[in-house]
A and B are shown apart, each in its own frame.
Chain A
Amino acid sequence: MIAIGVLVAASATLVWRRDGLSGVLDILGHDISLFAGILPRVLAGCLLGAFIAEILPHEKVSRSLGPSSGLTGLLIGAAFGAILPGGPFTAYPVASALLAVGADFGATISMVVSWTLIGYGRAVAWELPIMGTDFTLWRIAISLPLPVLAGALGRFVYVRIYPTKAESASEGE
C-alpha cells in the first residue's frame, strides 16, 4: 500500500516534469473515469464473495477442495475458476472466501490460475479484439493443463514447507 503510494507519487512527479500540469490532469481524469466504471463491479465482487462464503457448506468445501481432495479437488477448482464471471474484483474475493471455508492452497491456486489463464472474461473483452482469434485460442489451448499442474505443484510444495499445518488440517477431516 505504502510502496504503491510512493511509486504512484514518483511516477506522477515524472509525468509532471515531462508533460506539465495538463499531462498530470489528463491521466487523472482518465483514471478517475476508469475507477468510477470499476466501482460497481468491485461491489458486485465483494457481494459475490460474501454470499458464496455464507451459503457454501464448509464441510462439503473442505471435503471437495481441501488438502486431501486429490486431483478431483484441483479439477473442481480449475473448472470453477474458468466459469467465474468478472475480473479481479470477483476472482480474488471469491478465492479468499474459498480459502476461508476450507479449500486448501492447491485447489485455490488451481482456481486463481485457471481464472487468469482460461477464464473467458478477459479473453473475450480484451484478448480476442487485441491479439486476434488465432493467437487467443492457441494460447488458451496451451494453457489448459497449467491450472491443475500449478495446483498440484502448490499442494506438493505446501505440505513440505508447512508439514505440521498440513498434517493437522488433514487430521481435522
Chain B
Amino acid sequence: MNAALLIDVILWGSVAAVGFIAYRRGPKVMTASLREGAMDFIYIMPRIALGVIGSGYIAAVIPQEVITGWLGPNSGWFGVAAAVVAGAATPGGPVIGFSIGAVALRSGGGTPQVLAYVVAWALFAFQRLLLWEIPFMPARFVWFRAAVCIPFPFLAAAIAMLIGKP
C-alpha cells in the first residue's frame, strides 16, 4: 500500500511540475494542455472501463495451472518458447502475472523459463496491449513494437543460462 501511495505522490508531483512549467509559459499553453489532457481522458475512459471491468472475467476463465504447467523444469528452449507464449497469453494485471511466475519458480520451474515468462509478459501481455497500448498509441506503432520485441525474451533467457541463477 505504501509503495502505491509513493507512486501516486511521484505521479501527481510530476503532473504538478510539468503543469507549473506550462503555467510559466503562459495561460494559453496551460489551458490548451488541460483541454487536451481532459479530452484524452474522456476518449480513453470508456475503453479502459471495458477492459478493467471485464478483465476479471477473462482471468477467471483461464485456469492458472495451465500456464504454470508450461513453465516446467528441464524444458530447455522449448520451455522458453512456451513461456513466451504463456506470458503473452496471461490475462489480468501484474498480480496475476507475477503470481504465476512465483508459483512456477516455487514449484520447480526453470529460472531462465520463468525469466522469459516475466519478460514476455511485460512486453506482450495481450490485455495490456489491447486495453492500454492500442487506445493511447498509433496501432501501427504497437504492432511494430511488439514484432520487433519478439527476440528479446529469448535473448534474456540466453543471458540467464549463461550467467546462471541469482
Contact = CB atoms under 8 A, between A and B. Distances in A.
Interface stretch (A60-68, A70-78, A109-117): A109-117
Contact of A46 (B12, B37, B95, B114): B37
Contacts of B111: 135
B151 A50 contact: no
A95 to B, nearest CB: 6
A79 to B, nearest CB: 15
A47 B15 contact: yes
A102 interface: no
B132 A89 contact: yes
Nearest to B118: A139
Interface in A69-116: 85-90, 92-93, 95-96, 99, 105, 108-109, 112-113, 116
B60 A8 contact: no
Contacts of A31: 52-56
A28 B123 CA distance: 27
B131 interface: yes
B149 A150 contact: yes
Chain A's interface size range is 35 or more
Contacts of A46: 37-38, 40-41, 44
Contacts of A122: 94, 122
A143 B156 contact: yes
Contacts, number: 226
Contact of A105 (B57, B115, B141): B141
A39 B47 CA distance: 12
Contacts of A15: 57, 60-61
Given A113-B149, A139-B119, A50 B60 contact: no
B129 to A, nearest CB: 10
B122 A117 contact: yes
B93 to A, nearest CB: 8
B104 to A, nearest CB: 10
A12 B19 contact: no
Given A15-B61, A117-B119, A130-B102, A125 B51 contact: no
B3 interface: yes
A50 B30 CA distance: 10
A30 B32 CA distance: 36
B94 A131 contact: no
B28 to A, nearest CB: 10
Contacts of B65: none
Q: 4 closest Cβ contacts across the A-B interface? A: A8-B54, A50-B37, A92-B136, A138-B166
Given A1-B47, A45-B11, A51-B15, 19 more contacts: A11-B58, A11-B61, A30-B56, A34-B52, A35-B48, A42-B44, A46-B37, A47-B34, A50-B34, A51-B18, A96-B138, A112-B145, A117-B119, A122-B122, A124-B6, A127-B118, A131-B102, A139-B118, A143-B156
